[in-house]
């Protein structure tokens, strides 16, 4: 089974890349299921109902999030009614929404998707290690044959620690949040695919998706300023993972980093191949 994971979708530029190209990209990788982190889909911070619907309609099967999940107040109102939109499972009991779900890929294999968030330099919420164990048991009870974990965290050490902690129990632990794709993809001894950050999908001519002038001014002056999503050099970052459904272990992991021109070529080729 092939899984395609799309790194943090940032603003309209990121959503446009997903809308225009994810179906063709998924087909080019033979993906049976597509997962994307969407916590920055709404102008670089948060996700609205319309954003979630747009991303799901574009061919994404499950949306994960992170510390920006509540930046748009409306998310509190609709997340409980959209099981394909996850928030970190280690938010305290009673928080709206769910931290995991089980979905069926196009090949009929049931996949458990778990979303947890690190605590180093982020929020003092529940322990992501213990909560991940709880969610693994939960998705297995719901029939998951393969388990994917989005670990949304600030430090590579916390993300890598979770990779080793869950090695052999899940197919993949992929890190999100920093928006900078790392080059440490590997399959651990127990069969868990690991990458400490998938990077982000959106405009790369700014500072992690934000217009660079405003960010530079903040660092230089120390004064608050209005951050806007950048617009140029749109790129899609993510990862493709192959998993053996009979064991739930990964057999291959490949980083993805594509410009819009490269994505357009993939989409154009897919369109041409589909013509009679």
Decide if pLDDT at 164 tops 90.
yes
What does the pLDDT look like over 90-146, one tens digit per residue?
999 999 999 999 999 999 999 999 999 999 999 889 999 999 999 999 999 999 999
- Asked whether the beta carbons of 24 and 36 are under 8 A apart, the reply is no
The string of pLDDT tens digits covering residues 220-272 is: 998 888 888 888 999 999 999 999 999 999 999 999 999 999 999 999 888 88
CA angle 145, 150, 152 (to 5 degrees): 160
Beta-carbon contacts of residue 97 (< 8 Å; ≥ 6 apart): 69, 79, 80, 85, 86, 87
* SS3 label, residue 270: helix
Find tokens 């790194």 and name the residue: 7
pTM: 0.95
CATH superfamily of 2-274: Metallo-dependent phosphatases (3.60.21.10)
Which pLDDT value is given to residue 44? Answer: 73
Distance CA 115, CA 56 (A): 17
Q: Is residue 171 a contact partner of residue 248, using CB atoms and an 8 Å limit?
A: yes
Q: Which residues are catalytic?
A: 68
């993805």: which residue's tokens? Answer: 256
Rounded-to-integer distance, Cα 244 and Cα 240, Å: 14
């Amino acid at each position: 089974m092939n899984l395609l994971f799309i790194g943090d979708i940032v603003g309209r530029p990121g959503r446009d890349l997903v809308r225009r190209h994810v179906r063709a990209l998924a087909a080019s990788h033979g993906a049976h299921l597509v997962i994307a982190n969407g916590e920055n889909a709404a102008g670089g911070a948060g996700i609205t109902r319309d954003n979630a619907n747009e991303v799901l309609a574009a061919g994404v099967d499950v949306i994960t999030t992170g510390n920006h999940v509540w930046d748009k107040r409306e998310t509190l109102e609709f997340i409980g009614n959209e099981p394909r939109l996850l928030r970190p499972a280690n938010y305290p009991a009673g928080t709206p929404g769910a931290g995991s779900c089980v979905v069926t890929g196009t090949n009929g294999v049931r996949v458990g998707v778990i979303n947890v968030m690190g605590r180093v330099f982020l929020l003092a919420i529940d322990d992501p290690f213990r909560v991940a164990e709880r969610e693994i048991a939960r998705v297995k009870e719901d029939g998951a044959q393969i388990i994917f974990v989005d670990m949304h965290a600030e430090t590579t050490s916390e993300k890598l620690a979770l990779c080793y902690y869950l090695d052999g129990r899940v197919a993949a632990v992929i890190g999100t949040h920093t928006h900078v794709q790392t080059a440490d993809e590997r399959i651990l001894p127990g069969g868990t695919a690991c990458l400490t950050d998938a990077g982000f999908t959106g405009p790369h001519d700014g500072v992690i998706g934000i217009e660079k002038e405003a960010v530079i001014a903040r660092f230089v002056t120390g004064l608050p300023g209005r951050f806007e999503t950048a617009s140029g050099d749109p790129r899609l970052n993510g990862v493709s993972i192959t998993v053996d459904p009979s064991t739930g272990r990964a057999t291959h992991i490949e980083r993805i980093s594509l410009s819009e021109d490269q994505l357009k070529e993939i989409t154009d080729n897919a369109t041409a191949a589909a013509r009679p």
